[in-house]
Chains A and B, each alone.
Chain A
Amino acid sequence: GESVGLHLPTLSVQEGDNSIINCAYSNSASDYFIWYKQESGKGPQFIIDIRSNMDKRQGQRVTVLLNKTVKHLSLQIAATQPGDSAVYFCAEEEERDDKIIFGKGTRLHILP
Chain B
Amino acid sequence: EAQVTQNPRYLITVTGKKLTVTCSQNMNHEYMSWYRQDPGLGLRQIYYSMNVEVTDKGDVPEGYKVSRKEKRNFPLILESPSPNQTSLYFCASRGPYNEQFFGPGTRLTVL
Q: Contact residues of A with B, CB < 8 Å?
A: 1, 3-7, 32, 34, 36, 41-46, 49, 89, 91, 98-105
- B27-64 near A? 1/0 per residue, CB < 8 Å: 00001010101011111110010100000101100000
Contact pick for B45, options A44, A45, A89, A99, CB 8 Å: A99
Contact B45 A100 (CB under 8 A): yes
B100 to chain A, nearest CB (A): 6
User: Whole-angstrom distance between the alpha carbons of A1 and B48 in the complex?
Assistant: 24
Given contacts A4-B88, A99-B48, A105-B42, contact A45 B31 (CB under 8 A): no
Contact pick for B43, options A1, A3, A102, CB 8 Å: A102
Total cross-chain contacts (CB, 8 A): 61
Is B74 in the interface zone, CB < 8 Å from A?
A: no
Contact A98 B90 (CB under 8 A): no
* Other A-B pairs, 10, CB within 8 Å; known A42-B105, A104-B40: A4-B39, A4-B88, A7-B40, A43-B105, A98-B31, A98-B48, A99-B45, A102-B43, A104-B41, A105-B42
Q: Which residues of B contact A45 (CB under 8 A)?
A: 102
Contact pick for B90, options A41, A44, A46, A103, CB 8 Å: A44
Q: Contact residues of B with A, CB < 8 Å?
A: 4, 31, 33, 35, 37, 39-45, 48, 50, 56, 58-59, 88, 90, 92, 98-105, 107
Question: Ordered nearest first, which 3 A-B pairs have the shortest CB separation?
Answer: A43-B102, A102-B43, A6-B39
Q: Which residues of B contact A49 (CB under 8 A)?
A: 98-99
Q: Name the CB-closest residue of A to B39.
A: A6
User: Whole-angstrom distance between the alpha carbons of A16 and B105 in the complex?
Assistant: 31
Given contacts A98-B50, A99-B58, contact A89 B101 (CB under 8 A): no
Contact A103 B42 (CB under 8 A): yes
Q: Which residues of B contact A91 (CB under 8 A)?
A: 43
Contact A104 B99 (CB under 8 A): no
B4 to chain A, nearest CB (A): 8
User: Whole-angstrom distance between the alpha carbons of A43 and B91 in the complex?
Assistant: 9
Given contacts A4-B37, A101-B59, contact A89 B43 (CB under 8 A): yes
Q: Name the CB-closest residue of B to A104.
A: B42
